[in-house]
């Protein structure tokens, strides 16, 4: 099954700051609420575009008790500097997320659109889509808070 999700956020920081923050995989620790580790980050090139390939772990909990550490493979392409980042996330059981971040300058601010296409087996579809929606809404809220209240390069 396939599902499309879209999220938007307005961030009071220049596009170059928002783009470079999301372009660095290590910055997702503390942004994405389930993410507990990032490893094996390697710089790559896809169609002459710079990017990264890496592994992450999302930890699912019941209350405060960890019940599942989900290993994920991620391929990110810095498609258009200060305009677009494309990411493919692959996870078990046969789950794929194609994510596109689109950045638009609004003066010194940034309008960010995140589009997500989720390909998932029917038997876990509702859970995956619901969780993806909650996680991405929190991730963008965390990004906005981090960039608007902390000095980042």
- Write out the DSSP string of 43-111: EEEETTEEEEEEEEEEEEEETTEEEEEEEEEEEEEEEETTTEEEEEEEETTTEEEEEEEEEEEETTEEE
3-state secondary structure of 85: strand
The per-residue pLDDT for 63 is 86
Quote the CA–CA distance of 153 and 138 in Å, as a whole number. Answer: 22
* Segment-wise mean pLDDT, segments of 10 residues, the chain, 153 residues: 98 97 95 95 93 95 87 96 97 96 97 98 96 96 95 69
User: Do residues 27 and 21 lie in contact, with contact meaning Cβ atoms separated by under 8 Å?
Assistant: yes
Q: In which residue are the tokens 């220049």 written?
A: 14
The per-residue pLDDT for 153 is 59
- Among residues 2, 48, 16, the alpha carbon closest in space to that of 153 is found at 16
The per-residue pLDDT for 118 is 98
CATH number, domain 2-149? 3.30.530.20
- CA-CA distances (angstroms) from residue 15 to 82, 110, 147? 6, 5, 11
Q: What is the pLDDT of residues 68-87, one digit of tens each?
A: 899 999 999 999 999 999 99
Q: What pTM value is reported for the model?
A: 0.93
Quote the CA–CA distance of 28 and 21 in Å, as a whole number. Answer: 9
The per-residue pLDDT for 152 is 73
The per-residue pLDDT for 126 is 96
Tokens (6 digits) for 118: 């989720």
């Amino acid at each position: 099954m396939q599902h499309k999700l879209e999220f938007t956020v307005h961030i009071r920081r220049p596009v170059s700051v928002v783009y470079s923050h999301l372009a660095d995989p290590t910055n997702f620790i503390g942004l994405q609420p389930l993410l507990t580790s990032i490893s094996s980050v390697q710089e790559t090139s896809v169609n002459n575009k710079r990017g990264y390939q890496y592994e992450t772990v999302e930890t699912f909990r019941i209350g405060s008790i960890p019940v599942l550490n989900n290993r994920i493979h991620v391929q990110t392409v810095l498609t258009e500097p200060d305009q677009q980042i494309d990411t493919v996330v692959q996870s078990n059981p046969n789950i794929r997320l194609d994510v596109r971040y689109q950045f638009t300058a609004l003066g010194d601010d940034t309008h960010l659109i995140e589009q997500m296409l989720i390909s998932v087996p029917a038997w876990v579809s509702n859970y995956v889509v619901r969780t993806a929606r909650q996680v991405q809404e929190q991730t963008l809220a965390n990004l906005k808070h981090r960039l608007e209240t902390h000095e980042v390069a």
